Amino acid sequence: METFRSSFASRRRRGALLLVGGALLVGVAALALPGRGGGEAADRLSKPEYERAVRTAYADVQAAFAATHVESAELPARVAAAVRSLRRAADTLGDVQPPARVAREHASLVAGLASYAAELERSRNGVVGTSESVEEIAEAAEQMKFKGYDLGRIAKD
């Protein structure tokens, strides 16, 4: 009988070790999978980090557009610089994981910046008129502003 008990206890310990080992293996696998345990959620910026990222990316755009107030001979080069700054801002912000609360607006903002760059590039004199892209940028920034985000000039321009 004693042998049976010791054999049973030994099997129970092995079973417990296998259970713990299996749980550890599942935990490690979950961490390694994309979007699980430290993946996407951990990569998202905090609200202050996101606000700073948008303000920084847009500062270059704002400076490039301020530089377009020049004589007509210089305008094409300045518009080309504005297009490059819009693309850089779209690329930079496209790599950002925004807070989940503004993910949809962030996607619209990035798409609007890229689209506006394409519109300006097609325009020879830098004048686009009413632009759906500009409206998309403004609407996305305005929605984020109403959610309490301070994006600086992009929410005011």
Contact 111, 137 (CB under 8 A): no
What is the arithmetic mean of pLDDT over 1-25? 42
Task: Give the domain range for residue 79.
Answer: 45-155
Check residue 128 and give its pLDDT: 64
Q: Is residue 121 within 8 Å of 136, Cβ to Cβ?
A: no
pLDDT for res 130: 65
Per-residue confidence (pLDDT) for residue 116, from 0 to 100: 92
Where residue 135 falls among pLDDT bands split at 50, 70, 90? very high
- Computed over every residue of the chain, the mean pLDDT equals 77
> Are 68 and 144 contained in the same domain?
yes
Going by pLDDT thresholds of 50, 70 and 90, the confidence category of residue 98 is very high
Across 75-106, b (16+ Cβ under 10 Å) vs e yields: beebbebbbebbbbbbebbeebebbeebeebb
Per-residue pLDDT, 125 = 61
Tally the domains of the chain. Answer: 2
Q: Find all residues with CB under 8 Å of 126, minimum gap 6, and list them.
A: 68, 75, 76, 78, 79, 82, 120
- In the chain, pLDDT over 70 holds for what percent of residues? 68
Asked if residue 129 and residue 102 are part of one domain, the reply reads: yes
End-to-end Cα spacing for the chain: 85
Model pLDDT, residue 48 = 96
Domain check: are 38 and 51 in the same one?
no
109 shares its domain with 123: yes
Please, what sign has the CA dihedral across residues 11, 17, 18, 20?
positive
pLDDT greater than 90 at residue 139: yes
Q: Are residues 104 and 141 in the same domain?
A: yes
Let me know: does 23 contact 118? Beta carbons within 8 Å: no
Quick check: 113 and 89 in contact, CB under 8 A?
yes
